[in-house]
Amino acid sequence: MVLVFSGVQLYGLRSLNRTSEEFQILKDFHLNFIFQIQSLETSQSSLILLLKSLTESTGKSPRKTELLKRWIVLTRDKRDRSFRKLEKMILYRVTSVPGREKEFVKEKITPLIEAISKDIKDLTTRFNELLTTDTDSPQARLKYISRREQVIMSKIKKMVTVSRSRIMTVASVMEKSEKTTMDSQIFLLIISLFISLLVIYLSSIPLKYLKNLAAAVGRIGKGDLSVQVKVNSDDEIGTLAREFNRMAKAIEERENRLIQTERLATAGKLASQIAHEIRNPLAAVSFQVDLLTELVEDLSEESQGNIEIIETLQALGKEVDRLSTITDGYLQFARAPKMTLTKVNIIDLLNDFLDFIEGDLALSNIVIVRDLNVEDIFTPADENLLRQVLMNLIRNAGNAMENGGEIVVSCRADKQHIKMQVKDTGEGIPEKIQGKIFDAFFTTRRSGTGLGLALSKQIIEDHRGTITVASSASEGTVFTILLPVYDEI
């Protein structure tokens, strides 16, 4: 059935294509060509009439003769422009039209165009002599020019006749081709109908289409969760294939989330152990550093050595404090935050948070731009945890703009989702590491812990939302958060 219908369609399309090509040539070339010839014919006729009027007015009225000369110049220029346009069209068509039309142009039209072009060039000098003299034009010269222009007119009319004849021939061929195509299509459709009924009867139970689906099920059973069944139809088999594809995709996503959860759990345990092991020694070191600093400061002797010791102890204290901050971050990551969901106004939350952090960012030449919904938007959330996520995103955006810049915070909502975005004008995140930035302990900063974005992603997903990133070197980075809208019910 496929072969028969394909054959019928191919034959029909081929016939229609031939007819379409003929029609395209008729529309793009012949009709346009005849229009241009008629425009040239009109200009030529006007020029001949003006030359005749000039002949009759010679010696009678100098003013009228001068006026006629001006009209002749304008009409001749218009005729020349029309002819040049027609000549360019023919030169283009000689190289672009196919087969028979190309031969027609070369044999019938091109010789006439070349002859007219030669006549116009030959008359140019005589026209200039006739029209630039201040005295009345000699009758012999006018008559000669008029005769030559009549010859040009006869060649133009011949082109009109040839072109019209060709249009009638092409139209006749198209009509005959259309009738033949219609008769052939009817005959082939009758045959294809008979064969299709036979094929439908033989293929009433399309078991063969289930083979691919069965093979895909086997691959999933072996652990290949990326398998997808190609959907070839909109019938029951196609619906089953689409549902299978959705199921396989859902299983793959759940598997990836499970792997990510296991990784985070393992990372959390490891972070907790490391933090507990080094937290107490760090506290002791910090205490001893502070004690030594006080002892050195109490010495009465303010020598250069004492000053250097104090500076060294202060630097050591800063590094100990930094390590303590890192261990606190590890412990916070290891202890899963407990959520207390309430009805939170996102617009108020964003305004309050941006008011709090805006002054600090201004010290680094960073400007906050607010693009927030004018109406209140509510979501079920833990306000403190959302503030923590916003703090991580804003700090990352600020760190990406060492020389200052702009952070745009926007918020919009529809009936189901709230969409928040934090966009900076920094240097962007390389594409090769964009898929890793939410992994625990992954960081590109020497002083970073790699936990901020991982914890933020965990918080957003616990709120039944998503967080994604898009970045480019020319436009900076955009973090997008989707959260559910608060349901009054």
Q: Would you identify the CATH topology of the domain 2-198?
A: Four Helix Bundle (Hemerythrin (Met), subunit A) (1.20.120)
184 band by pLDDT with thresholds 50, 70 and 90: confident
Task: Give the DSSP H or E segment for 344.
Answer: strand 342-345
**β-bridge mates for residue 371, sequence order:** 410
Q: What are phi and psi of 342, to 5 degrees?
A: -135, 175
* pLDDT at res. 455: 81
* pLDDT at res. 321: 65
Q: Which two tokens stand for residue 99?
A: 């087969």
State the Cα torsion 34-39-40-41 to the nearest 10°.
90
CA atoms within 13 A on the CB side of 390: 25
Q: How many CB atoms lie within 10 A of CB 130?
A: 19
Output 68 or 479, whichever has higher pLDDT.
479
Is the CB of residue 123 less than 8 Å from the CB of residue 145? yes
* pLDDT at res. 276: 54
Q: What is the pLDDT of residues 447-459, one digit of tens each?
A: 556 677 888 888 8
Sheet holding 405-413, edge to edge: 366-372, 405-413, 417-424, 476-484, 466-472
Q: What is the pLDDT of residues 17-43, one digit of tens each?
A: 776 767 777 776 777 778 888 888 888
Percent of the chain topping pLDDT 90? 10
User: Does position 147 have pLDDT exceeding 80, yes or no?
Assistant: yes
Identify which of 387, 270, 378, 376 has the alpha carbon closest to the alpha carbon of residue 339: 387
* pLDDT at res. 489: 39
pLDDT, mean over the chain:
77
Three state DSSP letters for 255-318:
HHHHHHHHHHHHHHHHHHHHHHHHHHHHHHHHHHHHHHHHHHHHCCCCCHHHHHHHHHHHHHHH
Burial of residue 15 (number of CB atoms within 10 Å: 0-12, 13-18, 19+): middle
State the Cα torsion 287-290-291-297 to the nearest 10°.
180
Distance CA 291, CA 1 (A): 94
* pLDDT at res. 419: 92
Identify which of 165, 228, 140 has the alpha carbon closest to the alpha carbon of residue 33: 165
Number of helices and strands in the chain (H, E): 12, 7
* pLDDT at res. 319: 65
Q: Would you identify the CATH topology of the domain 342-484?
A: Heat Shock Protein 90 (3.30.565)
Q: Which two tokens stand for residue 83?
A: 């002819």
Identify the sign of the CA torsion 290, 292, 297, 302: negative
User: Does position 101 have pLDDT exceeding 90, yes or no?
Assistant: no
Across the range 168-180, mean pLDDT stands at 77
Identify which of 349, 406, 400 has the alpha carbon closest to the alpha carbon of residue 377: 349
Percent of the chain topping pLDDT 70? 70
Output 31 or 345, whichever has higher pLDDT.
345
370 band by pLDDT with thresholds 50, 70 and 90: very high
Lowest mean pLDDT, pick from 225-229, 293-297, 331-335: 331-335
Q: Which CATH class is domain 236-334?
A: mainly alpha
Residue boundaries of the structural domains of the chain: 2-198, 236-334, 342-484
Q: How many CB atoms lie within 10 A of CB 433?
A: 12
472 band by pLDDT with thresholds 50, 70 and 90: confident
Regarding pTM above 0.75, the answer is no
